[in-house]
Amino acid sequence: MNTNTNMMIETKHLTRRYGTRVVVDDVNLQVKKGEIYGFLGPNGAGKTTTIRMLLGLIRPSAGEVLLFGRELSRHRMEVLGKIGSLVESPSYYGHLTGHENLQTIQKLLGLKKNRIDEVLETVRLTKDAHRPVKGYSLGMKQRLGIAAALLRDPEMVILDEPTNGLDPAGIHEVRQLILDMPRQHGITVLVSSHLLSEIDQVATQVGIINGGRLIFQDSIDVLRRESRPRLRVVTERPGAAQMLLRGQGHAAEIEAGALWLEGGAAENIGAINRELVLAGHTVTRIEEVKRSLEDIFLDLTGKDVSL
Ligand SMILES: Nc1ncnc2c1ncn2[C@@H]1O[C@H](COP(=O)(O)OP(=O)(O)OP(=O)(O)O)[C@@H](O)[C@H]1O
């Protein structure tokens, strides 16, 4: 048995096929305690299928899932009891209040401790707790779903696209809740999204899945480092300028007639300009070109990068 209790989720060669189609392909996820793990991928990439396997809702075709260091297939009740989840839009009894809906779930799960008021407070629904759910906005319903996930006082929550379909205010509320989970409640979070901007704002760790394959898994900082601005230099003789700058240790590439310098070069704009001018080059333009996380995401998903 794996005794690394710091690892909340670990999958080993997790694979799911539908017929001959491989929808989740040899995925090795690693989610450590205290992280907000952003599980990112375009629609149809395999996020929900992976999450359903993590929660024991569907079986892997191959590979395995370890939760809290234990195999899900052997310790199902024990490990799933420590996880709260929100997968797909939750359904409620519309004529019952938020409070009553949570009471129903509490009974259904056989939870002894009454944490309803506490979780309603956490998701900021105390004020609306005694209104029928049919009058709730989509954002409120989603927050009620998160309250339901928190009812069993979980060590970890798994949220599948929790901001889907919400308006900006709803998105903000859910984002705040996610950020508070490790900080205030010691809960580890795995949250999926198809939007890089969503993950960028909450995650400490990122896994990117595309076409069923995990193409990136590292800290958000590593992903951001990839996004350091590049320098675009336009000169009349880019080939000669490239040779000069390469001679000085710059990784200079020519693309679409301009010279491109990587990463840290942007800090040396003045020096680079001076070197070029002193060597007789006419520099008509130097600009910093920021790469958004979207650019990097496209780079990663466009190419078949395997990590
Ligand atoms: N029960 C099923 N039978 C056949 N194919 C399926 C089944 N469930 C999912 N798929 C296919 O598996 C692929 C991955 O689906 P999945 O729902 O995991 O993606 P996703 O990343 O969660 O995307 P989305 O955000 O659109 O739900 C899709 O192409 C989907 O059509």
13-38 pLDDT, tens per residue?
999 999 999 999 999 999 999 999 99
Instruction: Give the closest residue (by CA) to ligand 1 atom 11.
Output: 23
Ligand 1 atom at minimal distance to the Cα of residue 194? 25
Compute how many other C-beta atoms are within 10 angstroms of the C-beta atom of residue 131.
14
Q: Which CATH class is domain 7-225?
A: alpha beta
Question: Which residues form the pocket of ligand 1, taking CB atoms under 6 Å from any ligand atom?
Answer: 18, 23, 41, 43-49, 161, 194
Ligand 1 atom at minimal distance to the Cα of residue 209? 21
| CATH 3.40.50.300 domain residues, the chain | 7-225
44 CA to centre of ligand 1 in angstroms: 5
Instruction: Give the closest residue (by CA) to ligand 1 atom 31.
Output: 44
291 versus 266: the higher-pLDDT residue is 291
43 CA to centre of ligand 1 in angstroms: 8
Residue 118 burial class via C-beta count within 10 angstroms: exposed 0-12, middle 13-18, buried 19 and up: middle
| CATH 3.30.70 domain residues, the chain | 230-290
The pTM score is 0.82
The ipTM is: 0.93
Residue 1 reports pLDDT greater than 60: no
CA-wise closest residue to 192 among 163, 230, 223: 163
- Cα dihedral across residues 307, 203, 229, 222: positive or negative: negative
Average of per-residue pLDDT across 117-140: 93
Instruction: Give the closest residue (by CA) to ligand 1 atom 6.
Output: 18
pLDDT of residue 293: 64
pLDDT of residue 306: 38
CATH number of the 230-290 domain: 3.30.70
Ligand 1 atom at minimal distance to the Cα of residue 52? 18
Ligand 1 atom at minimal distance to the Cα of residue 41? 21
Distance CA(13)–CA(31), nearest Å, equals: 15
302 CA to centre of ligand 1 in angstroms: 20
Q: Give Cα 60 to chain centroid, integer Å.
A: 22
Q: For residue 290, what are the CA distances in angstroms to 137, 222, 224, 232?
A: 38, 16, 11, 10
